[in-house]
Amino acid sequence: MKVRHGVMWVLFLALVVAVQIHFPEPVEPEVLAYRDVPDETFWTLRRHAYRFAEARAREGFAFLEGTPASASFQILCKGVPVLHVERQPPLLLIRVALGAERRAPAIYPLQATLQWSLVPLSYLEQVLSDVQEPTLQDRLVLTLAGDVPEDERCGVRK
């Protein structure tokens, strides 16, 4: 009986290690939906994000403007998107990459700054607007994936 339990634990640990090796972080972001905002408010949000990235460029952050046809922008951490803001009337969407707390923890104060004046949709309104949340499987894979290597993180002072 004890041998079976030992074998089961070894197999479980091997599975965890295999998942960490073979599965990268999920790319499905956490999406927060808000009521659309006037142009002036959107440009204020953009300006905050731009200043954030500009002030932290040495830490690996970069600002990326969306296409001219779309009202959007992104904050990248060493080339990986960690925050994406997009205006899709009647919604304003803020996407935060799963695992951003490991890759770029400084993104959360920026997110809080961007959100303070916005009116969030209720859970039901968000579902009816077809704004998807990450699945439980995405969150589980992220948990098993482990930490982000230090050279891929932003905001880490050397």
Q: Which residues lie across from 71 on neighbouring strands?
A: 87
Residue 131 pLDDT > 80: no
Residue 25 has pLDDT above 50, yes or no: no
- Give a yes or no: residue 94 inside a domain: yes
Whichever domain contains 95, its CATH number is 3.30.160
Asked if residue 146 is part of any domain, the answer here is: no
102 domain residue, yes or no: yes
The average pLDDT across 65-88 equals: 88
Structural domain contains residue 139: no
- Is position 15 within any domain? no
Domain count of the fold of the chain:
1
158 near 150, Cβ under 8 Å?
Answer: no
3 state SS of 148 = coil
Question: pLDDT tens-digit profile of 50-70?
Answer: 999 999 999 999 999 987 667
In a domain, 52, yes or no: yes
The answer to whether residue 12 sits within a structural domain is no
Mean predicted lDDT score pLDDT of the chain: 77
pTM to 2 decimal places: 0.69
Please report whether residue 106 resides in a domain: yes
What is the extent of the structural domain holding 41? 26-134
Neighbours of 106 (CB within 10 A): 18
Across the chain, which distance is largest between two alpha carbons, in Å?
69
